[in-house]
Amino acid sequence: MTPPPLVDTRPKGRRWIRPGFAWLLPLLLLHLVVSGFPVHYPLFFAIRAIVRGSALVLTLYVSRIGRAFFLAMVVLTLVTAAASVSAPERPGWYQDLILASWSMILLLAPVAIFRRIRKEFQGEGVDLEVVLGALCAYLWIGAYFAFLYGAAAVVFQSPFFDQPGAENQLNYLYFSFTTLTTVGYGDLSPGYGPGRMLAATEAVIGQIYLVSVVAIIVGAFVRQKPPRS
């Protein structure tokens, strides 16, 4: 017996638009903006936390990781965020465990994006989604190094910056992106050897990424565009 044909029961005239990197990119840029808000105001702190959390969740979603893994990472993020509240009052192994957890979670964001754009590149070629994905990964790299700078200050129990009074999340993020883009204003600088080598590593990654990954992807995208008639 022949099965009946499948019938599309969705309402006509409506189309489901799946979120993609075109949604994620402005959210990551918004995260950079709200990171400049003073955190001692509860409203600003809440806005920054919501935007950061939303960017991380959307990154994992648009990268199309498995559903079970996605849910596991969301749960791990929530547990780590809750545990981070008491971390400053409990130095030692507890604080190191929280930093290791955040390091794994934040590193997963660019890794998941690279996995998605690699599959897209090998399968359907380079489209706008791949180009935007590469840009999103670039922003996540800057955010990840900003976390590493703050973590280094905690692990080495010493201010990361040579300039007194510069230790805050905004300066970590600002220094990270000026280093990643090799702008190097010179107003902030690491105060010890490991921090300087970490900054040098980010600068090298930033240069290699722009002249290789982004250049190759954008070049392939331009070449495969159909010629104008």
pLDDT tens-place string over residues 139-161: 999 999 999 999 999 888 889 99
Q: Residues 210, 202: contact at Cβ < 8 Å? A: no
Q: What distances in angstroms separate CA 58 from CA 82, 116, 148, 169, one per listed residue?
A: 20, 13, 22, 22
Domain boundaries, the chain: 21-224
pLDDT of residue 18: 66
Taking the C-alpha atoms of residue 220 and residue 214, their distance in angstroms, rounded to an integer, is: 10
pTM of the predicted protein model: 0.84
| Low-confidence residues in the chain, pLDDT < 50 | 1, 3-16
